[in-house]
Amino acid sequence: MASNYEGYKSPLSTRYASKEMQFLFSDQNKFSTWRRLWVWLAKAESRLGLEISDAQIAEMELQISNIDFEAAAAEERLTRHDVMAHVHVFAKQCPSAAPVIHLGATSCYVGDNTDLIVLRDALKLLLPRVASVIARLSQFAQSYKDQPTLGFTHLQPAQLTTVGKRACLWIQDLIMDERALSRCLEDLRFRGVKGTTGTQASFLQLFNGDGEKVKQLDLLVTELAGFKKAYAVTGQTYSRKVDVEIVAALASLGTTIHKMCSDLRILASRKELEEPFESTQIGSSAMPYKRNPMRSERCCALARHLITLFSSAANTHATQWLERTLDDSANRRLTLSEAFLAADAALLTLLNISQGLVVYPKVIERHISQELPFMSTENIIMAMVKAGGDRQVCHEKIRVLSQEAGAQVKQHGKDNDLVERVRKDPYFSPILEQLDTILDAKTFTGRASDQVGEFVKEEVDPVLARYSDALKNVQDVKLNI
């Protein structure tokens, strides 16, 4: 007998994604949903006058979760058709209902409608995860809204910002992702009961040309499936544009996660901020001292995979000819599941990170002290002018001292001593008592602290209010691997 370790297994299922998301894309969920769809169709057809008994429906309902996967696989090897294989197995389990199973339907009735149900449930699972990350980062931002830190442009030191303000940039992107995913969920519809090419011709025959009953059938099944609306027109499938929009939103989430976790990796290399690091965790097999940002690196890796999946969904929609071609099938089995599983895994890891971020203010202050003297030169000049100095003379004095201090840093690897040079130069004696105030880092952060409070109140809190119940039950995430 072959070992369980001799066949390929997706790391998304063995290492990364949650059990809940894995279940949504499982065979058990897929094929039991097919059976529910056959039950809903039979119920609706019965209500509208077709000869389908309550006993037949009850017989089908008893077998919804009782799937003989081995028998279905054997049937599919014979028929080369997955839907008919499951129709045959279901019919054997429900002999009295066999004549009415899949009545009037095409394969996409169960295939596409199941996909839409899974997409809906997967979006509902992801959105509270996004909100949970936003909530934790919001707490972090408010805790560190006043902590000055070097801002960077071009990855070079720029004007100061605060640790909390920087976190708001990450949150803002996540809010945009929440909006996009919510919109996907709100816009999502059911394929419904449309027939082989979307014309409902088979159902029109079943109801002897009564178009109103066919419309009612579509509406009833849509309601039984828990959707408010069905797509008004379809080909054999619902438009693969729907997949494009959803995977685009997930890929966009991937860009957010990658950007944020890249920032965290940069800050970790500067020892200003760290992700959680467990007491027994090993950073390197060769270098015991290392504290690698492996969680952020994992997020970036998963996010890159997620981003690439957009092109797959887009190309699949672009190549659907006329009412449909089957070259979408194998692609969608991979793309849709992996997009949600990767997003789920990345969000869980990101939540774990956000629940345990560690800031090192003393390191941040040391880095500020290396750059702030240069940034403060304009303020020193203004103070000297107010004390009666000549702006041009002062500018030249500061320029010379700055060059000398810069040489100490770049050529000799020493600390920035510009402030000491200013203190020792008699020219600046009128403002020496003001230097500490002039060099207070908090005076260089502008409205960053106020912006954090305003942003959280105006932009973050309204989003989190929609998830208040879900956020009450959020627990600390423990990564298995």
Q: In this structure, are residues 12 and 60 in contact, taking their beta carbons and an 8 Å threshold?
A: no
- Give the span between the Cα atoms of 23 and 10, in whole angstroms: 14
Q: In this structure, are residues 115 and 334 in contact, taking their beta carbons and an 8 Å threshold?
A: no
Q: In this structure, are residues 422 and 434 in contact, taking their beta carbons and an 8 Å threshold?
A: no
Instruction: Give catalytic residues, as residue numbers.
Output: 154, 284
* Three-state secondary structure call for residue 374: helix
- Give the span between the Cα atoms of 386 and 8, in whole angstroms: 74
Structure tokens at 192: 């419904």
Q: In this structure, are residues 131 and 178 in contact, taking their beta carbons and an 8 Å threshold?
A: yes
For residue 75, the cross-strand partners are none
Q: Residue 46 carries which DSSP code?
A: H
* Amino acid, res. 333: R
Q: In this structure, are residues 189 and 227 in contact, taking their beta carbons and an 8 Å threshold?
A: yes
Q: In this structure, are residues 304 and 395 in contact, taking their beta carbons and an 8 Å threshold?
A: no
- Give the span between the Cα atoms of 479 and 354, in whole angstroms: 13
- Give the span between the Cα atoms of 342 and 351, in whole angstroms: 14
Q: In this structure, are residues 338 and 312 in contact, taking their beta carbons and an 8 Å threshold?
A: no
